Structure 1
Amino acid sequence: MSQRLVEFARSPAGAGEEGQDALYALADRLMGPCRGAANPALVRAAIEAGEDVPVEDEGLDGRSMVHLVAEIGLGAQEVGADALAEAFASFGMFGLTVEDWAQMLGAAERGEAPPVDWGLLEQHADVTGPVRRASDAELVRAWTVLVGLSGFYALYVMHGLLMPALAALRQRIDDFGMFPFLDRIIDINPSPTQYAETLTVCLQPLLDNLYELLMEQLAADRDVFRIRGDERGTAGLMETWMRALQEQAGVGARRPVWGETSAGVA
């Protein structure tokens, strides 16, 4: 999908004002709505307070990244700093807002900061090339990173569904402001197209490094999957979580929970 957009932007069909309109129309057809999930902390707070779960209607649509594709075909001057700021912010990296990006890009445009090397963006616009050039070992590593980050992303999201513990892992992700970015690229049940798109991203050192940091945290923190003071370990965590869900849902009759037998917790 990304490669098709880039090829269109670089073709004669993508030139001029009409070409730009056609590029945005193509992005709409290929990508569809790309809004991320509501922040898990806000979801959890709403559930615990008995309020409606927030819907991020005002959030940036991931399709804003097409502004970067337009820059590749038309140039930064034609696209404009405001649109490019929106594109960078839509990735959600490092917690930077549209205003943050606009300030940085505007300063560069006015000569108050080092100029932006847009040629670097164009050099990395070949999406499928790195996959074709990757060795078997590199592709397997990208798959490992993708599967691992999918798991960490799911655990982060489960915080919004009242799962206890896991604070250290969430903090690691938050330290780098990477949850919004993961929320854009990770899908719990991806289609083949989504899987292929994400696998190409996981070839990049940024996500490889994030995966390594999270794996190190997982290995160093023996209490990640247990509630401090609960000697039952993971079974205790799961029982506490299931009970919280049942209580929140207003379940009257108590039902057996995961890991529990007639003799107690297995």
Structure 2
Amino acid sequence: MARGAPSPADLQVVRELAARGLVVTVSQLESWRRAELLPRHRRRGLGRGRGSVVDVVDPVVVESAAALARHLRQGRDRRLAVLEWFAEAGMAGRPGAASVPEPPIGAVRQALVWALERSVVRRLMEVARSAAGAGEEGQDALYALAGRLLKPYRGSANPALVRAALEADEDIPVEDEAPDGRSMVHLVAAVGLGAHEVGTDALAEAFASFGMFGLSVEDWAQMLGAAERGEGPPVDWGLLEEHADVTGAVQRAGDEELVRARAVLVGLSGFYALYVMHGLLMPDTPALAALRQRIDDFGMFPFLDRIIAINPSPTRCAETLSVCLQPPLDNLYETLMEQLTADPALFRIPGNETGAAGFMERWIGTLRGRAQAGRGAV
């Protein structure tokens, strides 16, 4: 083969991808190799002084190139494609479809750090730290920026309440008194300016806005106030700053920890979806009820509702994955997986031997009945 000529193996990769409707050039393949995103073909030695040869095209090379081709577009940063590839590799594939290989974990780590450094929380944290010692002017600058960057969000109504309202033909409840998601800026301020500059009431509102453990603003205010007066366990605000350093957490995490965090994110997204669909009149079963009860025992539905997005952007995925490195979500995931193992019959209605088919038939029938009732009322 002439020097600089495309290898037969790469030409075969290009042809295989073209058959799938993916347009890739040999020069792109080589560019991805230089970026350490694509492996080289495995070669077999021909003996002393006779060089080596590629016997067959490595399927890992083909599927890795296919993943890059799916997620890369003209002018798009490769790190975004790496994050989407990493997410895709963690999803269960379709029966009979080729499995998606893992992207190089070093590239994943770099992409995660790059995305987190550009996140809204990171920008607010930098402003908060620079405002330390600047008095009210610094605080005003931080809160003004938060008002522009943070979106108002109060979370979804509890699916059990939504279901009850739908079944009774009543309006879906709205929790107007829940803290707005923008209250998290108080925690950012506590890290950058110091908790004493923020105040117990504001911090209680911030913690309650996350919805963790089912605690209200009043619950948090009582605990923080007791700690401030020396009547309860002291608060280690250093832990808050440690958890706020999401880029550091990703950099310190081992390769297996990053893969585990992805498994936690994917798993909790599925459990969250099952919890939400209870509010959409999905048939209930003992197994589904047991999973919801486990989530309620942890008081974590509001928190899951806040962090899990149905169609997350790569940056949002990076932010959520960094949270999944922390013990609370890992413990919740492990508990739910244990419950699923103990009772895997999620879609088996008691007394109905048709399994998932009967489950879906009943759900569709319920939704059609509700739709017909609605049209009749109109």
Aligned equivalents of 2:310 and 2:244: distance in 1? 26
Deviation at 1:73, TM superposition (A): 1.6
Paired residues of 2:131 and 2:192 also in contact (CA < 8 A):
no
Aligned equivalents of 1:58 and 1:201: distance in 2? 26
Paired residues of 2:131 and 2:142 also in contact (CA < 8 A):
no
Give the equivalent residue in structure 1 for 2:173: 54
Deviation at 1:23, TM superposition (A): 1.3
Match of 2:138 among 11, 19, 22: 19
Per the normalisation by structure 2, the TM-score is 0.64
Match of 2:221 among 102, 112, 118: 102
Paired residues of 1:8 and 1:14 also in contact (CA < 8 A):
no
1:186 aligns with 2:308: yes
Q: Describe the shift of the 1:76–1:20 C-alpha distance in structure 2 as closer, same or farther (beyond 3 A).
A: same
Deviation at 1:12, TM superposition (A): 3.8
Give the equivalent residue in structure 2 for 1:150: 269
Give the equivalent residue in structure 1 for 2:240: 121
Aligned equivalents of 1:30 and 1:221: distance in 2? 43
Aligned equivalents of 1:65 and 1:181: distance in 2? 13
Give the equivalent residue in structure 2 for 1:229: 351
Q: Describe the shift of the 1:50–1:208 C-alpha distance in structure 2 as closer, same or farther (beyond 3 A).
A: same
Give the equivalent residue in structure 2 for 1:93: 212
Match of 1:132 among 243, 247, 251: 251
Deviation at 1:193, TM superposition (A): 2.3
Paired residues of 1:16 and 1:74 also in contact (CA < 8 A):
no
Higher relative contact order (CA 8 A, sep 6+): 1
Amino acid at match of 1:98: V
Per the normalisation by structure 1, the TM-score is 0.89
The alignment-based identity, stated in percent, is 79
Paired residues of 1:93 and 1:181 also in contact (CA < 8 A):
yes
Give the equivalent residue in structure 1 for 2:369: 247
Aligned equivalents of 2:144 and 2:204: distance in 1? 20
Match of 2:321 among 199, 206, 226: 199
Q: Once the two structures are superposed, what CA deviation does each residue of 1:12-45 show, in whole Å capped at 9, x if it has no partner?
A: 4783212212212222322212221111011111
Aligned equivalents of 1:108 and 1:41: distance in 2? 35
Amino acid at match of 2:123: R
Deviant stretches of 4+, over 6 Å = none
Give the equivalent residue in structure 1 for 2:159: 40
Amino acid at match of 1:227: I
Paired residues of 1:14 and 1:73 also in contact (CA < 8 A):
no
Between the two proteins, the alignment pairs up a number of residues equal to 252
Amino acid at match of 2:245: D
Q: Is the partner of 2:309 in helix, strand or coil?
A: coil
Q: Once the two structures are superposed, what CA deviation does each residue of 1:170-208 show, in whole Å capped at 9, x if it has no partner?
A: 011001111011011111111222211101101112111
The CA RMSD measured in Å over matched residues stands at 1.7
Matches within 5 A, 1:211-226: 211-226=333-348
Paired residues of 2:281 and 2:367 also in contact (CA < 8 A):
yes
Q: Once the two structures are superposed, what CA deviation does each residue of 1:93-140 show, in whole Å capped at 9, x if it has no partner?
A: 111111111111111111211322212222332121111222322211
Please tell me whether Structure 1 or Structure 2 has the larger radius of gyration of its CA atoms: 2
Aligned equivalents of 2:320 and 2:165: distance in 1? 31
Q: Describe the shift of the 1:21–1:231 C-alpha distance in structure 2 as closer, same or farther (beyond 3 A).
A: same
Q: Once the two structures are superposed, what CA deviation does each residue of 1:121-166 show, in whole Å capped at 9, x if it has no partner?
A: 2233212111122232221111111111011101100000001121
Give the unaligned 5+ runs of structure 1.
253-266
